[in-house]
């Protein structure tokens, strides 16, 4: 039996079928894998779920304790919540809690550094 892919494990395939986005690409296994790898390789990572818009699919921002962050498409809020639960990492709705100050501080300190944003 083949190992279960990221799409099957977290419901990414189902999440990509729904939605109102017109211009953005769908989320891919590599998007979820990048978020998981970031969370596993940094300290104190929290996920912040960004809502789908007309132009972009649902995205998640992973923010480490030092403020370093990445953003990737995640298909739906349910997908990133499953990822967060599996990693024992909090996931917040950015429309409710906003972005953490440490993220803005890190971005200001690292203006000249190439972005990890997708």
pLDDT number for residue 20 = 56
pLDDT number for residue 111 = 84
pLDDT number for residue 100 = 96
Average pLDDT over all residues of the chain: 83
Mean pLDDT of 2-14: 55
Closest CA to 94 of 114, 74, 110: 74
pLDDT digits (tens, 9 = 90+) for 23-54: 556 778 889 999 999 999 999 999 999 998 88
Q: Which of 14-18, 21-25, 34-38, 75-79 has the lowest mean pLDDT?
A: 14-18
Closest CA to 79 of 29, 39, 114: 29
Dist. CA 12–CA 9, nearest whole Å: 8
pLDDT over 70 for what percent of the chain?
Answer: 75
Q: Which of 39-48, 54-63, 98-107 has the lowest mean pLDDT?
A: 54-63
Spatial CB neighbours of 63, under 8 Å, sequence gap ≥ 6: 45, 46, 47, 48, 69, 99, 100, 102, 103
Give the residue with greater pLDDT, 21 vs 52: 52
- Is the distance from CB of 12 to CB of 27 less than 8 angstroms? yes
Burial 56-95 (b: 16+ CB within 10 A, else e): bbbbbbbbbeebbbbbbbbbbbbbbbbbbeebebebbebe
C-alpha dihedral, 74 to 92 to 96 to 18, nearest 10°: 30
Dist. CA 61–CA 94, nearest whole Å: 9
Q: Examine the pLDDT at 73 and tell me if it is beyond 50.
A: yes
């Amino acid at each position: 039996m083949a190992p279960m892919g990221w799409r099957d494990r977290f419901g990414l395939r189902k999440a990509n079928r729904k939605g109102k986005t017109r211009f953005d690409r769908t989320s891919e296994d590599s998007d979820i894998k990048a978020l998981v790898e970031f969370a596993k390789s940094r300290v104190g990572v929290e996920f912040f779920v960004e809502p789908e818009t007309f132009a972009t699919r649902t995205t998640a921002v992973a923010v480490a304790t030092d403020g370093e962050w990445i953003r990737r498409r995640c298909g739906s809020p349910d997908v990133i919540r499953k990822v967060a639960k599996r990693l024992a990492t909090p996931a917040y709705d950015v429309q409710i809690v906003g972005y953490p100050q440490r993220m803005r501080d890190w971005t200001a300190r690292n203006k000249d550094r190439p972005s990890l944003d997708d």
